[in-house]
Structure 1
Amino acid sequence: MRVVAASLEQVDLEGARRGLVLSLTDDEGRVGLGEATPLPGFSPDAVDDDRRALAELPGALGPIDLPGAPASPGTTTGAAPRATAFAILRALAPVSSRLRGLPAARFALETALLDLLGQRVGMPVSACLGGHRRHDEVRVNGLLTTSVALPEMLERARALAARGVRAIKVKLRSRGEEGFARDLEALRALRREHEAVELRLDANAAWSLEEAPRRLGLLAPLGPRFVEQPVAPELLHHLGACDVPWAADESLAVEGMPERLLEAEGCAAFILKPAMLGLLRAHELGRRAQARGIDAVVTHLFDGPIALAAACELALGLPRPPLACGLDAHAGLEAWPAVRIPQLREGGLVASSGQPGLGVRPWMA
């Protein structure tokens, strides 16, 4: 199978943010979709660089070769599921060096190729990534922030609970000792009202290596599952075991850091953002983390429907069920053309689309 045509569409979002939708057509007329929507100020790549790469590179892709083909649509006979991921890596090999530093562009290309290949072999992307699914659904977590007034934060928590969301992540936005004290009081109020909810916290790398253990000790009575990225990405492996476990987020994008964190005491989870890591790299890190007894959480980057669908497939394609994932629909989707994300279900669930490939239909058709 070869890619014979490619097109790129830009979607203007709020502020300066823009999304890119990549369409790849193979030699039998199938169309695979990918998306690059880097987040300004957070992603290492800029949308203009991604656009140039996605306009130039599809023509240089290698063939997508499998050891066999399915006997009939919807079956996997003749092609080992894991072979599909290796087929994508081989197809990307001629352009891999030009994708360095452009994870959103790599994510788009990998997604579109896996969408094509899944359609060809009659498997969803999750099965192409990890073989036959071992879990049928994944729960999503809710998201709150301490930057809003406490009554509003508590009201949002009630709305999440009413939807059936059982895990809540709180971004700790305040800075300095006074700010941390305010956040701590807000979290205590949240815990009093929601005793059974799984609480996760995100410090966004704002704490120093010296103050992090003390602050984690103060948070321990609240029983958080973990605190994401308490210190700077390049320092996280030095933190060690603390009163509250911690999770790696931005650190996973630092060269050589995932390998250190797989061995680090105190690391409870890898937060996998395929828009920051690439789809295949995120799956590899999730697989390796789970093999070491480290939990995995998949999350979007407030990107669009194609990237969100791909992130859902990643969560469904891990060897073991991940923890509740950051895959809930978000307000930013309203800036995109209306398109159904078949993996998102009512009640805070992600489930298989039941369709080959990504299962998202292009609005451009």
Structure 2
Amino acid sequence: MRVAAASLAPRTLEGARRGLVLSLVDDEGRVGLGEATPLPGFSPDTADDVERALAELPGALGAIDLRGGDAETTAAAPAVLRALEPLSPRLRGLPAARFALETALLDLVGQRLGLPASACLGGHLRRAEVRVNGLLATSAALPEMLGSARALVARGVRAIKVKLRSRGDEGFARDLEALRALRQEHPSIELRLDANAAWSLEDAPRRLALLAPLEPRFVEQPVAPELLHRLGAQAVPWAADESLAAPGMPERLLEAQGCAAFILKPAMLGLLRAHDLGRRAQERGLGAVVTHLFDGPVALAAACELALALPRPPLACGLDAHAGLAAWPAIRIPQLREGGLVVASDRPGLGVGPWTA
């Protein structure tokens, strides 16, 4: 199978953010979709960098060789990896571009094999469903935060992640009071917290100890990415997010005491690398959580397929629909269902499309 043509559809989103939808057409007329929507201030690449790369690189792709696998799904992901290998030097530092290319190629391969992208990523594995987690932030007024929590629980969401937005000891004290109110109102909900790498290595143990009575499952990225492996076992387990993008850090974290889970953002890591990291984490007994980057429908569909492809059931994932989708064309994401569920779409490839700008 060869890529015969490629095109890019840009999308201007809120603020300075831009998205790009990549369409790859194979030699039999199938169209595979990928998306790159870097998040300014978080993604290491910019929309301009990604646009230049995606305008140039598809023409340099070699054949996607599925021989040796026939309809065997185990051949699909390695074939995509081999096809992209010559482009790796030019994709270095451009994870959003890699994510778009990998997604579009897997979409094509899935259509060729008549299999969903999750089966192409995960071999013969076909998981039926994955639960999603809800998202709150302590920057909201307490009545608003509690009201949002009630709405999530009413939808069937069983895990809630709270972003801790306040800074300094006084801010942490306010966050702690809000979390106590949330826990009192929802004693059985699975609670997760995200410190967004804002704590120092000295402050983190004390704050984690104060959070322990609330029984959070873990706190994501309590300290800076380059310091996380030094945190060690604490009163509350912690999870790795931004640290996973740092060279050599995943290997350290797989061995680190206190690490409970890997938070996998394929838009920041690449789709195939995110799957590999999730597999390795699960092999070591760690949890895995797949989450979007508040990106568009193609990227969200790809992240859902990743969650469905992991060797073991992931923890509830950050794949709920978000308000930013309103800036994109109204395209149905077949993996998302009411009641806080991601389900297998039973469509070949991503199951999204055709794309209309």
Answer whether TM exceeds 0.5 for this pair. yes
Give distance in 1, aligned partners of 2:22 and 2:66: 23
SS of 1:302 mapped into structure 2? coil
1:88-107 mapped onto 2 (5 Å cutoff): 88-107=80-99
Q: Quote the offset at 1:67 in angstroms.
A: 1.9
Kindly provide the amino acid, as one letter, of the partner of residue 359 in structure 1: G
Q: Quote the offset at 1:319 in angstroms.
A: 0.1
1:22-101 mapped onto 2 (5 Å cutoff): 22-68=22-68, 78-101=70-93
Kindly provide the amino acid, as one letter, of the partner of residue 26 in structure 2: D
Question: Corresponding residue for 1:306?
Answer: 298
Conservation of the 8 A alpha-carbon contact between 1:262 and 1:292: yes
Give distance in 2, aligned partners of 1:363 and 1:3: 18
Conservation of the 8 A alpha-carbon contact between 1:67 and 1:79: no
Q: Do structure 1's residue 322 and structure 2's residue 321 form an aligned pair?
A: no
Question: Corresponding residue for 2:211?
Answer: 219
Q: Quote the offset at 1:363 in angstroms.
A: 3.0
Q: Do structure 1's residue 252 and structure 2's residue 248 form an aligned pair?
A: no
Q: Do structure 1's residue 17 and structure 2's residue 17 form an aligned pair?
A: yes
Q: Which of residues 172, 176, 184 is equivalent to 2:176?
A: 184
SS of 2:71 mapped into structure 1? coil
Give distance in 2, aligned partners of 1:285 and 1:253: 11
Give distance in 2, aligned partners of 1:306 and 1:132: 23
Conservation of the 8 A alpha-carbon contact between 1:199 and 1:225: yes
Conservation of the 8 A alpha-carbon contact between 2:10 and 2:20: yes
Give distance in 1, aligned partners of 2:68 and 2:4: 21
SS of 1:57 mapped into structure 2? helix
1:163-178 mapped onto 2 (5 Å cutoff): 163-178=155-170
Give distance in 2, aligned partners of 1:316 and 1:272: 13
Conservation of the 8 A alpha-carbon contact between 1:25 and 1:31: yes
Question: Corresponding residue for 1:72?
Answer: none
Conservation of the 8 A alpha-carbon contact between 1:342 and 1:353: yes
Q: Do structure 1's residue 263 and structure 2's residue 251 form an aligned pair?
A: no
Conservation of the 8 A alpha-carbon contact between 2:329 and 2:356: no
Conservation of the 8 A alpha-carbon contact between 1:68 and 1:79: no
Q: TM-score, normalized by length of structure 1?
A: 0.97
SS of 1:79 mapped into structure 2? coil
Question: Corresponding residue for 1:8?
Answer: 8
Conservation of the 8 A alpha-carbon contact between 2:19 and 2:36: yes
Question: Corresponding residue for 2:109?
Answer: 117
> In the comparison of the two structures, how many residue pairs are matched?
357
Give distance in 1, aligned partners of 2:186 and 2:125: 33
Give distance in 2, aligned partners of 1:153 and 1:301: 21
Q: Quote the offset at 1:132 in angstroms.
A: 2.1
Give distance in 2, aligned partners of 1:136 and 1:261: 30
Give distance in 1, aligned partners of 2:72 and 2:276: 17
For residues 79-125 of structure 1, what are the alpha-carbon distances to aligned partners after superposition, in whole Å with 9 as ceiling and x for unaligned? 33121111001110111110000000000000000000000011110
Q: Do structure 1's residue 130 and structure 2's residue 139 form an aligned pair?
A: no
Q: Do structure 1's residue 237 and structure 2's residue 242 form an aligned pair?
A: no
Question: Corresponding residue for 1:275?
Answer: 267
Q: Quote the offset at 1:135 in angstroms.
A: 2.4
1:342-353 mapped onto 2 (5 Å cutoff): 342-353=334-345
Give distance in 2, aligned partners of 1:350 and 1:79: 25
Q: Do structure 1's residue 338 and structure 2's residue 330 form an aligned pair?
A: yes
Kindly provide the amino acid, as one letter, of the partner of residue 117 in structure 2: V
Give distance in 2, aligned partners of 1:192 and 1:167: 15
Q: Which of residues 193, 205, 208 is equivalent to 2:200?
A: 208
SS of 2:45 mapped into structure 1? coil
Question: Corresponding residue for 2:353?
Answer: 361
Give distance in 1, aligned partners of 2:75 and 2:235: 42
Conservation of the 8 A alpha-carbon contact between 2:130 and 2:313: yes
Q: Which of residues 187, 205, 213 is equivalent to 1:195?
A: 187
Conservation of the 8 A alpha-carbon contact between 2:24 and 2:32: yes
Question: Corresponding residue for 1:75?
Answer: none
Conservation of the 8 A alpha-carbon contact between 2:127 and 2:344: no
User: Structure 2 stretches of 5 or more lacking a match?
Assistant: none
For residues 238-297 of structure 1, what are the alpha-carbon distances to aligned partners after superposition, in whole Å with 9 as ceiling and x for unaligned? 000001000000000000000000000000000000000000000000000000000000
Kindly provide the amino acid, as one letter, of the partner of residue 65 in structure 1: D
Question: Corresponding residue for 2:220?
Answer: 228
Q: Quote the offset at 1:2 in angstroms.
A: 0.3
Give distance in 1, aligned partners of 2:24 and 2:4: 8
Identity of aligned residues (%): 82
Kindly provide the amino acid, as one letter, of the partner of residue 18 in structure 2: R
Q: Quote the offset at 1:131 in angstroms.
A: 1.2
Q: Quote the offset at 1:68 in angstroms.
A: 4.9
